[in-house]
Amino acid sequence: MKHNIVTGTAITVFALSGIIFWETGFVWLVFIAIALAYLAVTAYGSFKIQANYFLKSINTGKRKSIALTFDDGPDPETTPKILDILREKGVKATFFVIGKKAEKYPELLRRIDEEGHIVANHSYSHHTMIAFFSQENLARDLEHCTNVITEILGKTPKFYRPPFGVTNPRYARVLRELKLNSIGWSVRSLDTKAQNKYEIINRVMSKLKARDIVLLHDNRKVTADSMEDLIEHCLQKGLKIEPLSKMIQKEPYE
């Protein structure tokens, strides 16, 4: 992974700089500059899932269509509204669900599945500090979500999206161990910050092109409000909306 290459390079540059600049008065400044650059690159790699810095995520599709993905549900208020529109429009999407919510609303999870959408793992806790979990706790959290989904639907998800899109070296090991594919996105709708549906529609439509994976949130009322227009705009632009599994040519369940 890129992280190992960057770390190896940083150590080498550090050692060489030590040799070259040791006799000068500014050797510590050189060391601090290298350390800061290393930290900046690592932070960028953690927050930018598309950088594939710690692990390889799937951020775009292989077909000339687009896929809609929803995180942070299921939500008893807004998820049904979104499902109604998707059904009406004949569109299949992917729902990256939070395990503890799926456990609370099993009927809703079943409805998502029965209506032909993909159910995927978005961790059990969606804890704000999940990126700082030990490898053991991270594995336990992700496996817990998988188990909740398997118990309700009788099938085991293989797609996973890290909460907040933050990754680290522990994720790389845990996802390999649990045989989960890391799924990112190529277009952020910024629906968690949008004040009205037009902000979502404008943002998505200004960026959208073939092969894009769009990130939305099904626990947001404004997202539900935007769905009908958003789908219409995609179709007007000649972009077909396909299930994520078809777009990335991978099976969504074990």
Which residues here bind Zn ion, judged by CB under 5 A? 71-72, 163
Location of structure tokens 């809703």 = 108
| Cβ proximity to Zn ion, 162 vs 239, nearer residue | 162
User: Judged by CB, which is closer to Zn ion: 45, or 73?
Assistant: 73
Whose structure tokens read 């687009």?
66
Q: Is 71 a catalytic residue?
A: yes
Kindly state the smallest distance separating residue 224's Cβ from Zn ion, in Å. 17
Nearer to Zn ion, 72 or 218 (CB): 72
Tell me if the bond preceding 74 is cis, omega within 30° of 0. Answer: yes
- Smallest gap from Cβ 144 to Zn ion, in A, equals 16
Shortest distance, position 76 Cβ to Zn ion, whole Å: 17
| DSSP state letters, 220-248 | -HHHHHHHHHHHHHHHHTTPPB--HHHHH
Cβ closer to Zn ion: 128 or 206? Answer: 128
Cβ partners under 8 Å of residue 90, min gap 6: none
CB of 33 to Zn ion, least distance (A): 35
Calculate the dihedral angle through the C-alpha atoms of 208, 210, 216, 222, rounding to the nearest 10 degrees: 50
**How far from 162 is each of 11, 50, 96, 251, CA to CA, in Å?**
29, 12, 9, 19
Nearest to 94 by CA among 12, 33, 170, 149: 149
Residue nearest to Zn ion (CB): 71
Instruction: With beta carbons less than 8 A apart as the criterion, state whether 221 and 78 touch.
Output: yes
117, 217, 218, 225: which is the annotated catalytic residue? 217
Which residues are tagged catalytic? 71, 217
